[in-house]
Amino acid sequence: MIDLLILAEKASAAKHMAKAFGGTTGRMAGKTYKIVHAHGHLMAFKDPDKMVTTAAAKQRYSSWTDMQTMPWDQADFSWAKTYTKAYNAYTKKSKSTRADITAIKAEAANAQAILMATDNDPSGEGDLLGWEIINAIKWHKPVYRIRFADETPKSLNKALHQMVAITDQFKQGEYLKSDARSKWDFLSMQLTRISTYAARQAGYRVKVINQGRLKSVIVLKIWQQQQLIDNYVKTPYFEAKFKDPAGHIFARELKTDAQKQAARFADEKSGQTATARYTKSPVTNIKRVRKTQAPGALLDLAKLGSLLARQGFNPKEVLATYQKMYEAEIVSYPRTEDRKITQEQYNELLPVVDSIAAVIGVDQRLLTHRTLRSKHCASAAAHGANRPGIKVPQSLTELAKYGPSAQAIYKTLAANYLAILGEDYEFDRVTAQLQLYPTFKTGFNVPVKLNYKAIFDDAEQVLAKTKPLSTVVGPEAVPFMYQGANPKPTRPSADWIGKFLEKHNIGTGATRLSVQAQLTSGKNAFINEKRGFYTLTQPGTIAAVLVRDTWIGSPQITKQLFDHMDAVGQLNESPAVVVNSATKVVAHDLPLILNNSQALAQFVGKPAPTRTTKKYKAKPKVKGQYCDGQTVEFNATWSGHKFSAEERRKLLQGATITFEATSKYGKTYTATGALKQQTYKGKQFWGFKAAFGK
DNA sequence: GCAAGGTC
Residues β-bridged to residue A36:
A7
Confidence band (pLDDT; 50, 70, 90) for A379? confident
Which CATH class, in words, describes the domain spanning A301-421?
Answer: mainly alpha
For domain A205-230+491-604, give the CATH superfamily: Topoisomerase I, domain 2 (1.10.460.10)
In tens, the pLDDT along A37-51 reads 999 999 999 999 999
Q: Is the pLDDT of residue A618 over 70?
A: no
Task: From residue A541, give the alpha-carbon distance in Å to each of A209, A210, A251, A600, A602.
Answer: 10, 12, 42, 9, 11
pLDDT at A72: 97
Q: What is the largest CA-CA distance in chain A?
A: 112
For the ranges A76-85, A309-318, A630-639, which has the lowest average pLDDT?
A630-639
A415 touches strand B (CB under 7 A): no
Q: Is the pLDDT of residue A616 over 50?
A: no
User: Does residue A351 have a cis peptide bond before it, meaning omega lies within 30 degrees of 0?
Assistant: no
Contact A215, A254 (CB under 8 A): no
For the ranges A161-170, A309-318, A656-665, which has the lowest average pLDDT?
A656-665
pLDDT at A320: 87
Q: Is the pLDDT of residue A52 over 90?
A: yes
- Considering chain A, tell me which residue range(s) the CATH 3.40.50.140 domain(s) occupy: 2-185
- Considering chain A, tell me which residue range(s) the CATH 2.70.20.10 domain(s) occupy: 236-294+425-485
The helix (H) or strand (E) run that includes residue A601 is helix A600-604
Strand, coil or helix: A651: helix
What percent of chain A has pLDDT above 90? 65
CA A474 to chain centre: 51
| Nearest to A161, CA basis, from A144, A178, A175 | A144
pLDDT at A461: 52
Integer distance in angstroms from CA A459 to C1' B5? 33
| DSSP string over A556-584 | HHHHHHHHHHHHHHTT-S-HHHHHHHHHH
The nucleotide minimizing the C1' distance to residue A509's CA is B5
pLDDT at A43: 97
Reported as half-sphere exposure (CB side, CA atoms, 13 A), residue A197 has a value of 20
Confidence band (pLDDT; 50, 70, 90) for A694? very low
| Nearest to A211, CA basis, from A227, A189, A183 | A189
- Considering chain A, tell me which residue range(s) the CATH 1.10.460.10 domain(s) occupy: 205-230+491-604
Spatial distance between the Cα atoms of A152 and A29, rounded to a whole number of angstroms: 18
Parallel, antiparallel, or unpaired for β A281-293 and A425-434? antiparallel
pLDDT at A470: 80
Q: Is the pLDDT of residue A226 over 90?
A: yes
Residues 6+ apart with CB under 8 A from A67: A194, A197, A590, A594
Integer distance in angstroms from CA A42 to C1' B7? 9
For range A369-388, the mean pLDDT? 89
* Interface residues 484-523 of A with strand B (CB < 7 Å): 507-508, 510-511, 514-515
For range A244-254, the mean pLDDT? 93
Q: A236-294+425-485 maps to which CATH number?
A: 2.70.20.10
In tens, the pLDDT along A162-209 reads 999 998 999 999 999 999 999 999 999 999 999 999 999 999 999 999
- Considering chain A, tell me which residue range(s) the CATH 1.10.290.10 domain(s) occupy: 301-421
| DSSP string over A349-363 | HGGGHHHHHHHHT--
Instruction: Say which amino acid occupies A490.
Output: T
Contact A435, A279 (CB under 8 A): no
For range A543-556, the mean pLDDT? 96
Contact A321, A513 (CB under 8 A): no
In tens, the pLDDT along A1-41 reads 999 999 999 999 999 999 999 999 999 888 999 999 999 99
Instruction: Say which amino acid occupies A360.
Output: I
A386 touches strand B (CB under 7 A): no
Spatial distance between the Cα atoms of A127 and A118, rounded to a whole number of angstroms: 7
Query: Of the spans A279-293, A640-654, A663-677, which averages the highest pLDDT?
Result: A279-293
| DSSP string over A118-137 | ----TTSHHHHHHHHHHHHT
Tell me: domain A2-185, CATH 3.20.20.70, correct?
A: no
Instruction: Say which amino acid occupies A40.
Output: G
pLDDT at A426: 93
* Interface residues 110-139 of A with strand B (CB < 7 Å): 119, 121, 123, 125, 129
Reported as half-sphere exposure (CB side, CA atoms, 13 A), residue A682 has a value of 0
Q: Is the pLDDT of residue A117 over 90?
A: yes
Confidence band (pLDDT; 50, 70, 90) for A693? very low
